Each structure stands twice: as structure tokens, then as C-alpha cells.
């Protein structure tokens, strides 16, 4: 049984500076590219969390050497990919969708499995695409097996990536090592979270890979070498958003040091979202600072490109003084949990008024009360409960340890932030 965590109440405006560790999305993409590169790479300030450790373990199982320095930096030394190997995906979408293309380049059988919820997540799109490109794979969901022959033909493939941008990114990251590269064409409803694909393309180009994304819904990668990486990993901007939300929810002020001026991270969109809800946001040499308003305004927000921010935004909307509509996020029903159903159930369980729509949520402000907030083994659901607990006494978050998926010690970081209440 998991132990509940009493979400601490903010007894005044939060005034804090909160450093956050490196980006999970950048770290895991860099690990894959470094494993496929021709020479050793180095990643400074990578995220050390469950998701990134699972990625590192998966690549080590395939033969890659990953060494950690005393300062936490990783040196990645490519080696011939081989099986037999077993990959534990945990609940990491990046592992279950980025590593199978790598495994298709290995010599030998590679089996994949993960947490119980991971077995329910959609994988057939990327696995069927690999079959089209010449891979031999048994199964269409976890557990499954890739029977690698040491090479993959590659070529053209048409997929429906409307459930996850990771289907595109996962194929792109390994494609330069395919004999004929790859041409991916998406057919279906709009691809969600396109900034994550833009991040993948930018990282491929930084590694010397030829990528053509000029045509909408089409991505081409030419076959060729992948150059070594020498990267400083940016702070994880999505992981920073609960702390920025603390400023917005308490009429306080929170600064995140090291916020990049230019970034491909989806979490950067939180700046505009908070401004729409009447917070003040500015960036300078000290980082990004959010100052919360006396009262949050509700907002009509299209989150299709940045669906991962939905739990944080929904928590703020439940504390706002007007109705909010969150749109474009039907794909969240297939994330770590059905996030739309979970947010409706949990906010309403605290006295809120949330309705599901075809593509999102309608949130009406209501007086809220304490109670148990279930996390569903979903790190972003857990942090959403912590945000509500800032204003609502008696919120108990079930299984706060699930935040270790992307933040190694969220409860301690949250407590340290609240020590700086004005």
C-alpha cells in the first residue's frame, strides 16, 4: 500500500527561488542519439530520475557504455548493439517508443515490458511502422519482442500519430542509421505536442543529421553518421510549472533560474498561459519570475501543443474566479492515466465542478474542501494535487513518490519552496 502525503498549505504568498533539474525530454533524446553516434558524447546537467535512469538502463542492456561523473554528467560511449536483452520501460513513454527502433538495429532478440499501466498504453503505431520498415516484432503492446538482425532497411512509412508525437520522434531518432533513412507521413487528426517533434528535429540537426520537415505532416531523414553530442541540458520547464503555479495560486513570486531565452521545450508555453490567467511574467538574467495576481482569472485555452501542462493548468483553473475551458487535449486519455477522467474525478471529489468535453475539460470554480487526491501513478496528477493543497487544507495526495518519474525529490523541493513564504 502507498502512503498518502499531506499537501502543505501556504500560509501566505510564496516568495522563492527554485532551481529545477535538467529536462527529461532533452536528456532521453540525447541518450538515444549518443548511443547511435560514432564517437563518445557528454551530457552535462542531465536529469537523474526514474524515466531517464530507465532509458540509460535500456541502452546499457543493448551494449552502450554510460558512465557517470561525480558532478552527475554522463559520458556515453557507443558500442555494437546486441541482444539478448531485456528492457524495463516502467511507465516511461519515451523508453517504450524510442528504444524499439534502436533495438531493431541490434543483433539479437530484445524483450520489452513495463509497469501494469504501461501495458495499456498505445504502441501499435510505432511497432507496425517498424514492421513496414523491415523489422521483425512479435506483439503490438507491452510485453513484446524485437528480433534484431543488426540492420534495418528503412524507407517510407505512413502512420497515424494523432495519439502521440512520440511515435514520430521515436522513429526519427534512429532513422539516420537505417539503410535508406526514413520518410514519415502522418495521416489522421492533428499531431499533438508538435513542439516535442521540433525538439527532436533540432537535436538531430545538432548531431549532423540531415532532416527535411518543410512539408506539413512529413519528415525525411537521410541515412548517414550521427555526430557526437556535447550538451548542457536545460532545466526541465514542464517540471518547473508546478512551482510557477504556486506563485500564481498564492499571489506570490517564484523565480526559476536558468530559464533559456530560446528553447524547444513545451513547458515554455506556461509563460503565456499564466499571463492569460492574470499573472505577471518576466524573464531576465536571474531566470523566469512569475508574480501571482490577487485573484486568478479563468481562461479559454487550447493546450493541444502542450498537453503535458494540463494537470497544472486544471489545478489553477479550479482555484480561479471564472470559468475555464481547456481544449485540444483528447489525446490525454491515453497518457500515464486517462488524465481527463482523472482530473474530473479528483477535482470534483474536492467539491469542484469539472465536465469532460469531446476534446477537453470545462472547469467552473466552486468552494473546495480537503480530501484524498489520487495520483494514478501519474507524476503530473500528483503535483496538481500539491498545487490545490496550497489553498485547501486537508488535501492528502496518494503516492506522492510517483513524482520521482521526472523529479527525484519533489516533496523536499516543495517544502523548501514553502519555507520562503512572505
Does the pLDDT of residue 15 top 90, yes or no?
yes
Question: Cβ–Cβ contacts within 10 Å for residue 3, how many?
Answer: 9
pLDDT the model gives residue 368: 98
pLDDT the model gives residue 224: 98
Closest C-alpha to 209, from 196, 182, 183, 227: 227
User: Do 166 and 291 share a domain, yes or no?
Assistant: no
Residue 166 marked in a binding site: yes
User: Do 36 and 80 share a domain, yes or no?
Assistant: yes
Mean pLDDT over all residues of the chain? 96
Cα 266 from Cα 195, distance rounded (Å): 6
Would residue 226 count as lying in a domain?
Answer: no
Average pLDDT, integer, range 348-370: 97
Residue 308 marked in a binding site: yes
Average pLDDT, integer, range 312-336: 93
SS (H, E, C) 251-264: CCEEEECCCCCCCC
User: Do 166 and 248 share a domain, yes or no?
Assistant: no
pLDDT the model gives residue 334: 79
pLDDT the model gives residue 420: 73
User: Do 313 and 387 share a domain, yes or no?
Assistant: yes
- Which DSSP state fits 404? G
Residue 24 marked in a binding site: yes
- Which DSSP state fits 371? E
Would residue 291 count as lying in a domain?
Answer: yes
User: Do 90 and 171 share a domain, yes or no?
Assistant: yes
Contact 123, 85 (CB under 8 A): no
- Read off the CATH number of the domain in which 363 is found: 3.65.10.10
The percent of residues in the chain predicted with pLDDT above 70, rounded, is 99
Does the pLDDT of residue 1 top 70, yes or no?
no
Would residue 129 count as lying in a domain?
Answer: yes
Would residue 363 count as lying in a domain?
Answer: yes
> Would you list the DSSP string of 240-293?
HHHHHHHHHHHT-EEEETT--SS---GGGGHHHHHHHTT-EEEEETTEEEEE--
User: Do 70 and 172 share a domain, yes or no?
Assistant: yes
Average pLDDT, integer, range 236-265: 97
Does the pLDDT of residue 335 top 80, yes or no?
no
Average pLDDT, integer, range 135-146: 96
List, by residue number, the catalytic residues: 308
Model confidence at 245, in pLDDT bands (50, 70, 90)?
A: very high
Residue 50 marked in a binding site: no
pLDDT the model gives residue 277: 98
Domain C-terminal end among 221, 244, 264: 221
pLDDT the model gives residue 2: 66
pLDDT the model gives residue 3: 77
Cis peptide, bond prior to residue 143, ω within 30 of zero: yes
User: Do 33 and 10 share a domain, yes or no?
Assistant: no
The percent of residues in the chain predicted with pLDDT above 90, rounded, is 95
Our count of domains for the chain comes to 2
User: Do 156 and 82 share a domain, yes or no?
Assistant: yes
Would residue 229 count as lying in a domain?
Answer: no
Average pLDDT, integer, range 395-399: 97
Average pLDDT, integer, range 319-330: 96
pLDDT the model gives residue 121: 85
Strands 287-291 and 300-302: unpaired
User: Do 387 and 276 share a domain, yes or no?
Assistant: yes
Would residue 262 count as lying in a domain?
Answer: yes
Q: What tens digit of pLDDT does each residue of 156-209 get?
A: 999 999 989 999 999 999 999 999 999 999 999 999 999 999 999 999 999 999
Would residue 11 count as lying in a domain?
Answer: yes
Q: What tens digit of pLDDT does each residue of 372-386 get?
A: 999 999 999 999 999
Q: Which domain holds residue 90?
A: 24-221
User: Do 13 and 31 share a domain, yes or no?
Assistant: no
Helix (H) or strand (E) holding 127: helix 124-132
Would residue 93 count as lying in a domain?
Answer: yes
User: Do 89 and 207 share a domain, yes or no?
Assistant: yes
pLDDT the model gives residue 422: 59
User: Do 309 and 160 share a domain, yes or no?
Assistant: no
pLDDT the model gives residue 49: 95
Residue 29 marked in a binding site: yes
Residue 324 marked in a binding site: no
Amino acid at each position: 500500500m502507498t502512503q498518502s502525503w499531506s499537501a502543505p498549505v501556504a500560509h501566505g504568498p510564496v516568495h522563492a527561488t527554485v532551481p529545477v533539474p535538467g529536462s527529461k525530454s532533452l536528456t532521453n533524446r540525447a541518450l538515444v542519439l549518443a548511443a547511435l553516434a560514432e564517437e563518445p558524447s557528454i551530457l552535462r546537467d542531465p536529469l537523474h530520475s526514474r524515466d531517464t535512469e530507465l532509458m540509460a538502463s535500456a541502452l546499457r542492456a543493448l551494449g552502450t557504455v554510460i558512465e557517470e561523473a561525480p558532478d552527475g554528467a554522463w559520458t556515453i560511449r557507443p558500442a555494437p548493439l546486441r541482444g539478448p536483452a531485456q528492457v524495463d520501460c516502467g511507465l516511461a513513454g519515451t523508453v517504450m517508443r524510442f528504444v524499439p527502433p534502436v533495438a531493431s538495429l541490434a543483433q539479437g532478440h530484445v524483450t520489452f515490458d513495463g509497469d501494469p499501466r504501461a501495458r495499456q498504453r498505445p504502441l501499435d503505431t510505432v511497432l507496425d511502422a517498424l514492421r513496414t520498415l523491415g523489422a521483425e516484432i512479435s506483439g503490438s503492446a507491452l510485453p513484446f519482442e524485437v528480433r534484431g538482425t543488426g540492420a534495418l532497411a528503412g524507407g517510407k512509412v505512413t502512420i497515424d500519430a494523432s495519439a502521440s508525437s512520440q511515435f514520430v520522434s521515436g522513429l526519427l531518432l534512429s532513422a539516420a542509421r537505417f539503410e535508406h533513412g526514413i520518410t514519415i507521413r502522418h495521416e489522421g487528426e492533428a499531431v499533438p505536442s508538435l513542439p516535442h517533434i521540433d525538439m527532436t528535429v533540432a537535436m538531430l540537426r545538432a548531431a549532423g543529421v540531415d532532416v527535411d520537415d518543410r512539408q506539413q505532416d512529413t519528415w525525411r531523414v537521410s541515412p548517414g553518421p550521427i555526430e557526437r553530442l556535447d550538451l548542457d541540458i536545460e532545466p526541465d520547464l514542464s517540471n518547473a510549472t508546478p512551482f510557477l503555479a504556486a506563485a500564481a495560486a498564492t499571489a506570490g513570486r517564484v523565480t526559476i533560474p536558468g530559464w533559456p531565452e530560446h528553447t524547444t521545450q513545451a513547458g515554455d508555453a506556461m509563460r503565456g498561459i499564466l499571463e492569460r490567467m492574470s499573472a505577471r511574467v518576466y524573464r531576465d538574467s536571474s531566470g523566469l519570475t512569475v508574480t501571482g495576481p490577487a485573484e486568478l482569472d479563468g481562461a479559454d485555452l487550447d493546450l493541444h501543443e502542450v498537453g503535458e501542462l494540463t494537470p497544472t493548468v486544471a489545478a489553477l483553473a479550479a482555484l480561479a474566479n471564472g470559468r475555464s475551458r481547456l481544449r485540444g487535449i483528447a489525446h490525454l486519455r491515453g497518457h500515464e492515466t486517462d488524465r481527463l477522467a482523472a482530473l474530473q474525478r479528483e477535482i470534483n471529489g474536492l467539491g469542484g465542478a469539472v465536465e469532460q468535453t469531446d476534446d477537453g475539460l470545462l472547469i467552473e470554480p466552486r468552494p473546495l474542501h480537503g480530501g484524498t487526491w489520487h495520483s494514478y501513478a501519474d507524476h503530473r496528477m500528483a503535483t496538481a494535487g500539491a498545487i490545490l493543497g496550497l489553498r485547501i487544507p486537508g488535501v492528502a495526495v496518494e503516492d506522492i513518490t510517483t513524482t520521482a518519474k521526472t523529479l527525484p525529490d519533489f516533496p523536499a523541493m516543495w517544502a523548501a519552496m514553502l519555507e520562503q513564504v512572505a
